[in-house]
Structure 1
Amino acid sequence: MPHKYSAPGDHIESTKPVTVSRYRGITRLNHWVTALSLILLAISGLALFHPSLFFLSGLFGGGQVVRWLHPAIGIVLFISFFLLFLQMWKLNLPRREDVTWVAHSADVVMGREDRLPELGKYNAGQKFVFWAMTGLILVLILSGLMIWEKQLPLWRDYAPWAATIPARRIALLVHAMAAVAIILVFILHVYAAFWTRGTLRAMTTGSVTGGWAFRHHRKWLRELAKNRKMSENSKTPAE
């Protein structure tokens, strides 16, 4: 059966109380590498952003270290998020129930789950964070390469316009604006993870309670239950 709302590795565990596997170990590791990279980039980037914040460079060993470390971590972030993107993009595509979820955003804030539609693995808010991160990381890596001096020979060969002073000034402005935006999206993501009780557990232990899955992502849970039943029915009885 095709997985419409679930990812490989998602399954209902045979435990009491019922728990549901939500993220594989490789996905959780990938997520935390991305999160750590983003935090380090935010701190080192702020140190380079304004003289009043330059003291933050002391956390990395000084300005000279930050100068090469910041773009290097940027590459790590891009690769790590790209791997995460490959695992999650299909389940983050917009669906009809997302429109209803957004229309009832007040009920989301008030915790009136009974007024919300049944959802797959991710709700519209989570999908917004995912696609916002995707777009902003692309903007950051492209603008970052334009202002990274070590890459100038490459840009002169394949994109001469990107190595000009005016182009680099525009890239700096775009990079700074995208950085502020992604920090705000990251804060929103962290707040939502703590605000919705039981969510953080998914990215630490890899599983959630059956009650949490039924309350927040019922379509996802129903699909897992259906897949499990089909799997059990397909097994040949022991003789």
Structure 2
Amino acid sequence: MEKKHVFQRFDLHLRIQHIGMFTSFIVLTITGLPIKFEQNLVSQWIVSIFGGFDNLFAVHLFAGAVMLVDFVYHLLYLVIYPMVTKKLSLAILPKGKDVLDVIHDVQYLLGLRKDPPKFDRYTYKEKFDYWAVFWGMAIMGGSGLMMWFPQIFTRYMPRWVIDSTRYAHTDEAILAISAIFIWHFFNSHFSPRFFPMNHVWYRGTITREEMEEDHPLELERLDKESEASS
């Protein structure tokens, strides 16, 4: 039996959602940090590039709206895709094996084990990245909407809640920026295996060699399914 050499990892919808998420995130980072650190000289320089604070803030709001629309797009995808394809995957959900994989991986990195853990479709790092977005959207998106439309939210909650959203929004922003530009960028793009970037974000496919390295359990399952169907 001839084995496949390329595997579909992300379909077109997922690639569009990822592009929409990271482009809006980068714009929000560029326009948001000058708002939090308005007295910084670099922040003032960035504001001047946009032609003033009003323009910068308008771009920030637009990027925030794009991110929220993109998130809704993903939620609809999670509901509609299984209905259309009749395929429901729960691979992204955290499992007990993820805890064991973390322990195994730490032991491997410390030289206490010879081989790294074997991952299925998603590694514990990828699951952390994915669910961090849900947490971030709840905090960032929710607090952002409260600050954007205070006249609506003050009808249902006290003013101090609205006032506190600025701290929740900006502190979560720093956490998200740190996680993306340090954790995610290194694991997905800047590590020696992928530098200068992992091409799956626009190709949507990975090679058999990459599957053997990163997702051996998934590869074993797909090969068995292929043999059974042939």
TM-score by length of 2: 0.80
1:39 aligns with 2:39: no
- Would the aligned equivalents of 1:113 and 1:215 in 2 still touch at CA under 8 Å? no
Aligned partner of 1:209 in structure 2 is: 207
Quick one: distance in 1 between partners of 2:113 and 2:188? 17
Aligned partner of 1:19 in structure 2 is: 6
1:105 aligns with 2:94: no
1:225-236 equivalent positions in 2, closer than 5 A: 225-232=223-230
Quick one: distance in 2 between partners of 1:203 and 1:101? 24
Which secondary structure state, in structure 1, belongs to the residue aligned with residue 119 of structure 2?
coil
Which deviates more from structure 2 when the two are superposed, residues 202-211 or residues 172-181? 202-211
Instruction: Give per-residue Cα distances to partners, 1:49-107, cap 9 Å, x unaligned.
Output: 12211322344342111222212311211231343465499322112321221102335
- Would the aligned equivalents of 2:105 and 2:117 in 1 still touch at CA under 8 Å? no
Which deviates more from structure 2 when the two are superposed, residues 84-93 or residues 185-194? 84-93
Aligned-residue CA RMSD (Å):
2.7
AA paired with 2:98? D
Instruction: Give per-residue Cα distances to partners, 1:98-130, cap 9 Å, x unaligned.
Output: 122110233564799962332211111111121
* Structure 1 residue ranges without an equivalent (≥5): 1-12, 233-239
Quick one: distance in 2 between partners of 1:29 and 1:113? 39
Instruction: Give per-residue Cα distances to partners, 1:131-154, cap 9 Å, x unaligned.
Output: 122101210111112222xx1332
Which secondary structure state, in structure 2, belongs to the residue aligned with residue 208 of structure 1?
strand
Quick one: distance in 2 between partners of 1:133 and 1:112? 32
Count residues with an aligned counterpart.
Answer: 212
Identity percentage of aligned residues? 22
Aligned partner of 1:139 in structure 2 is: 139
* Structure 2 residue ranges without an equivalent (≥5): 79-87
The alpha-carbon distance between structure 1 residues 169 and 70, as it changes in their structure 2 partners (threshold 3 A), is same
Runs of 4+ in 1 over 4 A off after TM superposition: 85-89, 107-114
